[in-house]
Structure 1
């Protein structure tokens, strides 16, 4: 927004300080003058008893001639002191604001790594600086995450296209290509590209919170997800167990079902080669509801577990099978959880595997 130039805050504060000091000086001198007018003539009459009533006026006249120049000198001194001292004091008081403004200009120019780190005891300026530093830190982390996401998404989307091109080039060079096998492989590659695109769209929609909250029972969603993925679990040699009572929450039934399906699918796929186990538990708590999905599997370090919610991160090898997923399962879970004002916790299990807990606010009208 274009604005006409005006006085700086420092100049306005200086004039305010000087004006206040001048007003205080005028009031003080006025009080002194009133005091002198009231008491000095009476004392003069007591000393010179022959003085008539008219003798009071020469006393006041002489007093005014003596008092006025000195009062003017005091006011001039106060004016200079107010301007100079006010300018220095305003500069000192506004120094933190100047540092915040410099940091703002650097951030607007794209430098998000700069921090103010204002030293000293807590006050309004330091609270503003700390809040600004926190905002820059979150913004820098978000921008870095978005850049990694864009790079990974580009790589993941380029892979099926490159594979398709390679298959077509090989088929074109082959004088007698196996059309059936070529179509099957192209279908598999195209299916993976479609799944990835749909996952990216779901990730974008979930982050926009464009849904009307409804009453949802997480225990019913857990049973539905387990039933839907039971054939996959049987092919993988894993068992799926659900337990827990009613867990009413407010949110999008479709998104919360997708969240539950992603967690159960992830637990089935990243499990032991044989005799794996998946346990899905729902629980109603005084302050909310919880959905916990845990599975057996390989050992996972806490450091690795903390990165699994990033897009295209996998705890095991990047196997591109029909059920290996596209690397967005837990990223979608985290986005849906955040859209429902919940929290997501990933904890490695003792002996291998992972425990994932989603905590959501409770439906205020839901009974325990």
Structure 2
């Protein structure tokens, strides 16, 4: 909302400095005057050689003292006023100088330029802490915006693919009346299902990023058991053995999202495994401040450089597979987003024997009731 212009902070500080200095000076002069009234006699005997006019043989000390003290006190207050205004203006300017750098960086950020950093020099103080926090925020915003741009580009490409395939199938059906309509319908159905799966994955990813869920008590060991039971038919189809073990691992979060996270991990571990005789291990454990869910599988040997790309959207291992079980390329991206939404850490480690070990480590559930 627009508001009426007011005094600058520098002017307010200047007036505050000057006002405080005037108040301190006034109190000091008042203390001096009280001291003089207490210890200086009201009248004194005439001193030989004095020029004052005596009254009844005595000289009026306090009346003359007031005439001498008052103008000098006024001069001192005037000097303090000028000193307070000039000195306060200079001091306020030096103190508020870092705000100019912070303001410039804020204006640049408001125009969309997130690469600028304040990098305020000097010793650690409140302004330095503010500048460092602002630089950290800009770094995170820049990384987030860059990630969103990459994600939007990838999502557009992925959504365009099924639409292009559908258009090609319809064009074939339109130009070739003798083409098998049943085959076209089946292929359109498969493409449509893939597009629906992709749209649902994008919505799930958006929901996790926004943290728009209600936190509740969740036991990761039960989640792991449910996910493996659901995917047992898929594991049998691929000749993969599922093994689940571990302790009760209580955390706080969304039951549905954590189930989706675990299901994605187990699903990926099944479909990206050995052609025959593969194994998937799902385990839960408890640490002092966190709980741990690990999903480990056998498979091809992977390099750390390749593994580091797996959490990027639309990455499907060593190549962009188009098999039925390949998914939409958002499985581990969703896992990463859900983990971050639950304030946890996600670690991907290639196994020396082949395959990968994925660790999800959210905070353990607090002993008190979450509000």
Report the TM-score, using the length of structure 1 for normalisation.
Answer: 0.88
Per-residue Cα deviation, 1:263-284 (whole angstroms, up to 9, x for no partner): 0111122223343322111223
Aligned equivalents of 2:117, 2:96: Cα separation in 1:
18
- Please point out which of 184, 197, 200 is paired with 1:198: 200
- Between 236-245 and 317-326, the greater mean CA deviation after superposition: 236-245
After superposition, the Cα gap between the structure-2 partners of 1:97 and 1:228, relative to the gap in structure 1 and judged at 3 Å, is same
Task: State whether residues 217 and 246 of structure 1, in contact with CA within 8 Å, keep that contact through their aligned partners in structure 2.
Answer: yes
Q: Secondary structure at the match of 1:323?
A: helix
Aligned equivalents of 2:138, 2:286: Cα separation in 1:
37
Report the TM-score, using the length of structure 2 for normalisation.
Answer: 0.88
The number of aligned residues is 365
5+ residue gaps, structure 1, are: none
Q: Secondary structure at the match of 2:361?
A: strand
The residue number in structure 2 matching 1:80 is 82
After superposition, the Cα gap between the structure-2 partners of 1:103 and 1:365, relative to the gap in structure 1 and judged at 3 Å, is closer
CA-based RMSD of the aligned residues comes to: 2.8
Aligned equivalents of 2:100, 2:328: Cα separation in 1:
48
- Please point out which of 110, 130, 134 is paired with 2:132: 130
Task: State whether residues 45 and 57 of structure 2, in contact with CA within 8 Å, keep that contact through their aligned partners in structure 1.
Answer: no
Offset of residue 210 of structure 1:
4.3
After superposition, the Cα gap between the structure-2 partners of 1:237 and 1:71, relative to the gap in structure 1 and judged at 3 Å, is same
Aligned equivalents of 1:53, 1:293: Cα separation in 2:
110
The residue number in structure 1 matching 2:27 is 27
1:158-307 matches, within 5 Å, as: 158-174=160-176, 176-307=178-309
The residue number in structure 2 matching 1:157 is 159
The residue number in structure 2 matching 1:100 is 102
After superposition, the Cα gap between the structure-2 partners of 1:228 and 1:9, relative to the gap in structure 1 and judged at 3 Å, is same
- Between 253-262 and 202-211, the greater mean CA deviation after superposition: 202-211
The residue number in structure 1 matching 2:333 is 331
Q: Secondary structure at the match of 2:286?
A: strand
Aligned equivalents of 1:19, 1:215: Cα separation in 2:
58
Task: State whether residues 221 and 284 of structure 2, in contact with CA within 8 Å, keep that contact through their aligned partners in structure 1.
Answer: yes
5+ residue gaps, structure 2, are: none
The residue number in structure 2 matching 1:148 is 150
The answer to whether the aligner puts 1:5 opposite 2:8 as a matched pair is no
Aligned equivalents of 2:146, 2:132: Cα separation in 1:
21
Offset of residue 52 of structure 1:
7.2
Task: State whether residues 41 and 56 of structure 1, in contact with CA within 8 Å, keep that contact through their aligned partners in structure 2.
Answer: no
Offset of residue 343 of structure 1:
2.5
Offset of residue 18 of structure 1:
1.1
Task: State whether residues 300 and 315 of structure 1, in contact with CA within 8 Å, keep that contact through their aligned partners in structure 2.
Answer: no
Per-residue Cα deviation, 1:301-330 (whole angstroms, up to 9, x for no partner): 334433322322233211011110111111
After superposition, the Cα gap between the structure-2 partners of 1:285 and 1:32, relative to the gap in structure 1 and judged at 3 Å, is closer
Offset of residue 251 of structure 1:
3.5
- Between 204-213 and 313-322, the greater mean CA deviation after superposition: 204-213
Q: Secondary structure at the match of 1:356?
A: strand
Task: State whether residues 294 and 358 of structure 2, in contact with CA within 8 Å, keep that contact through their aligned partners in structure 1.
Answer: yes
Q: Secondary structure at the match of 2:291?
A: strand
Offset of residue 37 of structure 1:
4.5
Per-residue Cα deviation, 1:22-53 (whole angstroms, up to 9, x for no partner): 22222233333344445555896596699777
Task: State whether residues 316 and 326 of structure 2, in contact with CA within 8 Å, keep that contact through their aligned partners in structure 1.
Answer: no
- Between 107-116 and 303-312, the greater mean CA deviation after superposition: 303-312
Offset of residue 180 of structure 1:
2.8
